[in-house]
Amino acid sequence: MRVIQCFRAPLGGLFRHVADLARGLEERGHEVGILCDAGEYGALEAERLAALGGVCTLGLRRTAMARAPVPGDVATISVLRRWIGRDRIGIVHGHGAKGGACARLAGRLAGAATVYTPHGGSLHYTGRTASGMVYLALERMLRGAADAVVFESAFARATYETTIGAAPPRSRIIHNGVGEAELEPVRPAPDAADLVFIGELRALKGPFVLLQALERLADQGRPLSLVIVGRGPEEAALRAAVPAGLASGVTFVPPMPARQAFARARVMVAPSLAESLPYIVLEAGAAGVPMVATRAGGIAEIFGPQAGELVPPGDPAGLAAAILAAVADPAGAERRARVLRARIAAEFSLARMIDAVAETYREVAAAAPACRVGGRFG
């Protein structure tokens, strides 16, 4: 099969997912192309994009893709539509709100089958805000333009069907997966901090709530050190939000490979307010890293029988209590981490994820009307 993966920003778990999927499909004999935003995202992202472009038979192309809906999206859709026709692309897989919209529209116009994975995206919005009403209205308009929706979690599917409507018949839940090398345990460095936060620096990921929790612990006479790994649109606001009494114990560092970041502390904290099925939680669990996390999105699906340990999102007091319990009982935290690592090894395989997505492609290719796809699946 010839497949284009379309997404906006080469950041976070979405990019990790696309990169894993593209490599796995190429290894299985399919031809893959990548279309994403032309913006600057940092040295690490540029390195990863260059490496991915070298793997993809159909190449990697970049064009302007703003986060919000803008008139320039017409040009992006046109670029993708021409690529589909020129290289006889059979499947267009859109990721995230912007990538998903462009892929579905271009695929329909050019006659390719379309697959959509939300990765949270528009599903994080509600109809209680103006922006939420716009994004959800657009999702409802595009609902019939996808031949299948691949959900990373049961939570994402339930949210989609509640807020958008019924998913297409060939849609399925395919959990994100990790490779065998990621199951090698990571131990903290000798100079490790107490805690590490890894992710995009924006409110949705919960770093402001984490600072509130640490302030509570400091007021109780239990100050803890924290390393914040990442960058994002609210970095300046987050730096300003660090309480004066915690400033010496909070360190900001730029993005780095996840396993390097895990070694920077003894406990990872994932305080998200909303998620789908976050890779950083999967990766930390696979590496046997003790973890405190919230019950956001599909995180409970990762933890399984241990989901009762999860903290309600947006609860600084509950987060502080869970952090203190993990730090005060390192043996217990490590024991729970080993149980989670075994679960991830058994249930969240990268090979299984790629095979399931490829099978979805075959199903939509076989079912797509011949008058629409024009033989592009050969």
If we measure between CA atoms, which residue out of 63, 73, 72, 108 comes closest to residue 89? 108
Residue 368, CA distances (Å) to 116, 166, 325, 362 in order = 15, 19, 53, 10
Residues 342 and 209 in one domain: yes
Segment 271-292 shows an average pLDDT of: 97
The answer to whether residue 134 is domain-embedded is: yes
DSSP state of 368: S
Degrees, nearest 5: CA angle 73-78-79: 100
Residues 126 and 136 in one domain: yes
**Structural domain for 317, as ranges:** 180-347
The answer to whether residue 378 is domain-embedded is: no
* pLDDT tens, residue by residue, 60-78: 999 999 988 899 999 999 9
Q: How confident is the model at residue 44 (pLDDT cuts 50, 70, 90)?
A: confident
Residues 339 and 354 in one domain: no
Residues 14 and 47 in one domain: yes
Segment 366-377 shows an average pLDDT of: 56
Segment 301-316 shows an average pLDDT of: 97
The answer to whether residue 61 is domain-embedded is: yes
DSSP state of 110: H
Instruction: Say how far apart CA 242 and CA 226 lie, in whole Å.
Output: 11
pLDDT at 370: 52
Residues 139 and 167 in one domain: yes
Residues 271 and 163 in one domain: no
Segment 162-186 shows an average pLDDT of: 95
DSSP 232-276: -TTHHHHHHHS-GGGGGGEEEE----HHHHHTTEEEEEE--SS-S
The answer to whether residue 283 is domain-embedded is: yes
Residues in the chain, overall count? 378
The answer to whether residue 270 is domain-embedded is: yes
Residues 355 and 313 in one domain: no
* pLDDT tens, residue by residue, 210-266: 999 999 999 999 999 999 999 999 999 999 999 999 999 999 999 999 999 999 999
Exposed, middle or buried by CB within 10 Å (0-12, 13-18, 19+), for 141? exposed
Residues 186 and 309 in one domain: yes
Residues 327 and 191 in one domain: yes
DSSP state of 220: T
Q: Using the predicted structure, report yes or no on whether residue 317 has a pLDDT greater than 50.
A: yes
The answer to whether residue 155 is domain-embedded is: yes
pLDDT at 212: 98
Residue 232, CA distances (Å) to 98, 168, 255 in order = 18, 34, 10
The answer to whether residue 68 is domain-embedded is: yes
How much is the mean pLDDT over the chain?
94
pLDDT at 329: 97
Residues 166 and 255 in one domain: no
Structural domain tally of the chain? 2
**CATH number of the domain to which 159 belongs:** 3.40.50.2000
| pTM, full prediction | 0.91
Residues 145 and 204 in one domain: no
Residues 235 and 332 in one domain: yes
